[in-house]
Structure 1
């Protein structure tokens, strides 16, 4: 079993960690209006990765919340959402990247990004950046209009809001405190997370 741990991810950075089947990941927005990108692979099998397409397809909706399952690309449950204070997250847009800042915002020079932070976190587990796909963007608000246009708006999360996801297989995960100004209402803040070990949970 994994040991329970409580961590704070500083602004514009990320962290990798392992979860065992049955462990619960609690992600908390300590200050409000801060996005956190989550991606995961099956432990020991990087060909099995979190899939936004499968998850949206099987849920028949784009906004996933309490009771919904996040699926892998080979159609196996990876996470189940147990608790969701905010009820609005994004599973459409890819992690912000250096290229995104250059193409969309004409940014010059290096810009911290979720893709870079996810890649650095997964490198410690021997997983190549090319395997990282669309992340589950916790607390990110993306609205879609009737014509299909998307708009990134300020998150609805308030200080102390959290989401809890139960691991449905042994996982290697990475989590960020998002680096995109537009996703976080113009500021960068930390993200807190805790892995609640299945061995320390008591059935009621």
Structure 2
């Protein structure tokens, strides 16, 4: 088992994940969200799809055993272990616009979207290709009667994790989320580890 790599608060990274490898996203301190996006390493037009994944699962909260599909209905990742069980796959990565519109911030941080844009650029992935992320540990609570939702504190505690197996060769983008509300108003790191399957 490899040692984990740390993503500092309000930053992001990107890396290759080979078919069969296992990515573990770890919340080392608790209550910290991590935005995850994935692209087919051999055809960057294929990316994770919130709409298809949730449609095929017939539920909003994906967890252990659930596949994550691409925009072409191919399985890209499979969740193989999950100590939290509550993640978001509806909301877009936070951005400058998020902080202007929701937080009225006149000098906004570039957010997860900006961090993903920077990290994915060396792989030839531009900002218009960044999809809705699988937001590890993000706790979005939905009112059944109205569909209104609130972003609550993550349920993750220190050391909690979600583990994904790659079902094809991938480019992964991963962040330590930059939005105050998503992280219970504190910015913390995210750890991740890549291992061989088995």
Q: TM-score range by the shorter chain?
A: over 0.9
String of CA shifts for 1:104-152, please: whole Å, max 9, x gaps: 1211113140000111111010111100010000000001102000100
Could you tell me whether the CA contact under 8 Å between 1:39 and 1:174 is conserved in 2?
yes
String of CA shifts for 1:136-191, please: whole Å, max 9, x gaps: 00000001102000100000000000010000000000100000000000000000
Q: For 1:6-17, what aligned pairs fall within 5 Å after superposition?
A: 6-17=4-15
User: Which runs of at least 4 in structure 1 moved beyond 2 Å after TM superposition?
Assistant: 3-6
Distance in 1 (alpha carbons) for counterparts of 2:107 and 2:161: 34
Distance in 2 (alpha carbons) for counterparts of 1:121 and 1:136: 17
Could you tell me whether the CA contact under 8 Å between 1:97 and 1:115 is conserved in 2?
yes
Could you tell me whether the CA contact under 8 Å between 2:99 and 2:108 is conserved in 1?
no
Provide closer, same or farther for how the CA distance between residues 5 and 43 of structure 1 changes in structure 2, counting only shifts above 3 A: farther
* SS of aligned partner of 2:191: strand
Give the CA RMSD over aligned residues.
Answer: 1.2
Distance in 2 (alpha carbons) for counterparts of 1:132 and 1:73: 12
* SS of aligned partner of 2:46: strand
Match of 1:131 in 2: 129
In the TM superposition, what is the alpha-carbon distance from 1:46 to its structure 2 partner?
1.2
Q: For 1:91-106, what aligned pairs fall within 5 Å after superposition?
A: 91-106=89-104
Distance in 2 (alpha carbons) for counterparts of 1:79 and 1:121: 20
Give TM-score scaled by structure 1 length: 0.94
Q: For 1:21-40, what aligned pairs fall within 5 Å after superposition?
A: 21-40=19-38
Give TM-score scaled by structure 2 length: 0.97
Match of 1:47 in 2: 45
Distance in 2 (alpha carbons) for counterparts of 1:104 and 1:176: 20
Equivalent position to 2:119, from 111, 118, 121? 121
Runs (5+) with no aligned partner, structure 1: none
Distance in 2 (alpha carbons) for counterparts of 1:193 and 1:123: 20
Match of 2:184 in 1: 185
* SS of aligned partner of 1:124: helix
* SS of aligned partner of 1:111: coil
Could you tell me whether the CA contact under 8 Å between 2:13 and 2:173 is conserved in 1?
yes
* SS of aligned partner of 2:184: coil
Equivalent position to 1:56, from 51, 54, 57? 54
